[in-house]
Amino acid sequence: MKRTQRMEQTRWDLALRYRLIETVVWWEGRLTTNHLIQSFGISRQQASKDINTYINDYASKNLVYDKQIKGYVPTRQFKPLFIDDSASAYLDLLNQNNERAPHIEGLALAYAHTEVLKVPDRSVKPEVLRPLLKACREKRRLDIDYVSFNTPELEGRIIAPHTLVYTGMRWHVRAYCEKNRMYRDFVLSRFRGVPDVHEEQTENGIEQDVEWNTPVDVIFKPDERLTPAQRAIIEVDYGMTDGQLVVGSSQALVKYVVKRFGVNPNMHDARPEAQQLVLANRAELKPWLNLD
């Protein structure tokens, strides 16, 4: 059986352990059975078996045991099979697991030198999220009570949700609104009461959401008021190619991508050092930016 076939058939619990093996050995430089024991609550015998199975069945040239430090280290031929070995992937992992770090002794070294700013809790209630997930999964219509800046008074609506979206600061759901007869975004923290799931399925699913299904590139470039040396710094900061950063998106998510990069498409800051980035294709994106 080929290696790729074995990987596809790997049980999910083993795949998680193999991911931890590769993450620790690649980024921490030393793997022991304690990493698996403390992270998954398994016996030392099972942890040792998992490491040996990983080596024998998947990556015979990835790890070698170092008697001096009493642990496995990566070889020069190390090639990860279960993780993305980019720095950004590991930093994302630190971010995701920051709160759990004190309980994972094997990974404590990296977390001891990491600080993550917490986003305020937007008070998404379980009794709101559960029916939303059910409606998305089963393509159901949903009765909701909702408040917004335009309609601060409680208002009942019928929506057909299809996707939950996290913008970096808050969660919203993309849904067809029967009142407005169009697809819109509903902020989860602005739901009130408990949504009621209808029995019948909706005819307005994700397939009919044109803006959601239409791809578009959001293109950023350094503010042209910066000096050439300053623009060069920005280009390296964002990994630009030919002075541009191209971010793939859909029409429905354009405004969130732009906001995530801290760009205000309505105005230029008086100081280019503060602005740094501007939209290179602002005119093309105008229909989805809510421009003044």
pLDDT tens for the chain, 292 residues: list them.
Answer: 444 445 556 788 888 899 889 988 888 888 999 888 888 889 999 999 999 999 999 999 999 999 998 999 999 999 999 888 777 667 766 666 655 554 444 444 444 455 556 666 667 888 999 999 999 999 999 999 999 888 889 999 999 999 999 888 889 999 999 999 999 999 999 999 999 999 989 999 999 999 999 999 999 999 999 999 999 999 999 999 999 999 999 999 999 999 999 898 887 777 888 889 999 999 999 999 976 4
CATH, domain 3-111, list 3.40.50, 1.10.10, 1.10.3470, 1.10.287: 1.10.10
What's the sign of the alpha-carbon dihedral 93, 97, 246, 175?
A: positive
Give the C-alpha separation, 142 to 132, whole Å: 8
Residue 175 has phi, psi (to 5 degrees) of -155, 155
Give the C-alpha separation, 1 to 73, whole Å: 27
Place of tokens 């993550």: 116
Q: What residues does each domain of the chain span? A: 3-111, 126-210, 214-288
